[in-house]
Amino acid sequence: MSLRILKIAIGTELDVVGARQRAREIAVLCGFAMQDQVRIATSVSEFARNVFNYAHGGRVEFSIEEADGAQALQIRIDDQGPGIADLDLVLSGRYQSATGMGLGILGARRLMDRCDIRTAAGSGTQIVLQKRFAGDAPRMTARMVGEMCAHLSALAPDSMLGEVQQQNQELLGTLDELKARQEELLQLTRELEENNRAVKVLYAELDEKAEHLRRADQAKTRFLSNMSHEFRTPLSSIRALAKLLLARADGELSEGQEKQVSYILQGTVALNEMVDDLLDLAKIEAGKVDVRAERFMVAEMFSTLRGLLRPLLGGSAVALTFQEPPPGLALVSDQGKLSQILRNFISNAIKYTEQGDITVLAALVPGQGMMRFSVADTGLGIAAADQAFIFEEFSQIENRLQTRVKGTGLGLPLCRKLADLLGGSVGVESVPGAGSVFHVSVPINYTAQGGEAATMPHSLSPD
């Protein structure tokens, strides 16, 4: 639906001023905000001036248009002039003109919601401008447009001086707004500069703290290493003396004495294991652990582990099973460190499994050049929220077996560090009450950092 408001002929400079004046008055009567009133009046003035300067005459028509249930103020500007040469170049902003033509078109085009320009050499130019009404603006009806037209007819056109004064006021208002914006920008710039200085100070403090932490970490590593060595000598002596006493080297022991010496030996063994773990962690953190990669058979490693760990089961109701690997399955890695990881996994499984099975198996990871070793048990299980926590140093999860099972919380962190050294990773999958699967994945062919891979194994092929 189209509701026509007013039509103005452009033939003189005064008509250009009048078109601007009428555009502003119509924008006011349509309920547009002050900024939109200035945008509409400025756009009409710019295009009307081009009509006067380059086509020497034309017309401006105002109307209310509706599309898809939304209304907009439409201004149509027509002339029969020579047309606008290089319009596409003008609209791209790359047109250079000695008279300045093109810059005004670009500016006026940006001020409106819609600006369609059609032009042809010798056929004139047709421009359609639109500014949409605000969403909460009252809907314009034919009656309201009629009252608007009557009001406009009753208004006597101001003189050119009056319209120029109005333009000056608008310019002054714009300048005031720009000045306020500039002051805001300057204030923001000052705040940003202050923030930058604060950030620089913060970074300097963080660097200093990081250096302190590095030195503290190095001191901790040296302390653990030195103390672990210092602990080993007396512990070895105590363990040897306890074994001598239990062997009756100094005579018979009463039942009570034998029990007490057994407690001493058990405590010494536990302390020695803790000291070994601490020393291993200290060596790894200090970068003093070398990886001795060589080719070995998985079946042989399983056989060794089976012999070492089965005595730990004693008379428990737990079955330890090593699933036979494929014939000839081999890899190039540090067998000692990999065995240490698996020993920790299996030892923990024995501690926290009251009955059921513990299964150890190895399998190639397809397409990744990795081998995965898993230790599955039917023990207590671990909640999902605690599964990352157990790989942190000195961390233990509370459970009902704690009174019977003692630990330091160093075994799994040591496994993680050893796996990192071998170029692999550790993980766990567990459900409380249904058991856990601890696994370590290592490359089939160990590659030192910045070096070449070790001797390639003949995986899955017997010697």
Q: What is the mean pLDDT of residues 310-335?
A: 86
Structural element, H or E, at residue 405:
none
- Residue-wise pLDDT for 155-179, tens only, equals 755 554 555 556 666 665 666 777 7
- On the question of pLDDT at 403 being above 70, the answer is no
List the domain boundaries for the chain: 2-157, 161-289, 294-443
CATH superfamily for 294-443 is Histidine kinase-like ATPase, C-terminal domain (3.30.565.10)
The superfamily CATH assigns to domain 2-157 is Histidine kinase-like ATPase, C-terminal domain (3.30.565.10)
Other beta carbons within 10 angstroms of residue 288's beta carbon come to: 10
For 214-243, how does the pLDDT look when each residue is reduced to its tens digit (9 = 90+)?
777 677 666 666 666 666 677 778 878 888
Average pLDDT, rounded, for the chain: 81
Question: pLDDT tens digits for 287-306?
Answer: 667 788 899 999 999 998 88
Q: Which CATH class is domain 161-289?
A: mainly alpha
Q: How many whole angstroms from its chain centre is CA 175?
A: 43
Closest CA to 379 of 397, 396, 356, 395: 356
Query: Using 50, 70 and 90 to split pLDDT, how confident is the model at 444?
Result: very high
How many other C-beta atoms are found inside a 10 Å radius of the C-beta of residue 411?
A: 20
Q: What is the pLDDT of residue 171?
A: 64
End-to-end Cα separation, the chain, in angstroms = 91
pLDDT for 376 beyond 90: yes
Asked if residue 61 lies in contact with residue 68, where contact means CB atoms within 8 angstroms, the answer is no
- Please give the sequence-ordered ranges of beta strands (E in DSSP) within 113-235, or none if there are none: 114-120, 124-132
Q: Indicate the pTM of the whole model.
A: 0.46
Instruction: Give the residue-averaged pLDDT of 100-104.
Output: 62
Shared fold status for 2-157 and 161-289: no
Question: What is the phi/psi pair of residue 406, to 5°?
Answer: -105, 150
Q: Report how far residue 260's alpha carbon sits from residue 255's, in angstroms, rounded to the nearest whole number.
A: 9
Contact call for residues 320 and 309 (beta carbons, < 8 A): yes
pLDDT of residue 234: 79
The answer to whether 334 and 289 are in contact (CB under 8 A) is: no
Angstrom distance (rounded) from CA 454 to CA 456: 6
In this predicted model, which residue has the larger pLDDT, 452 or 256?
256
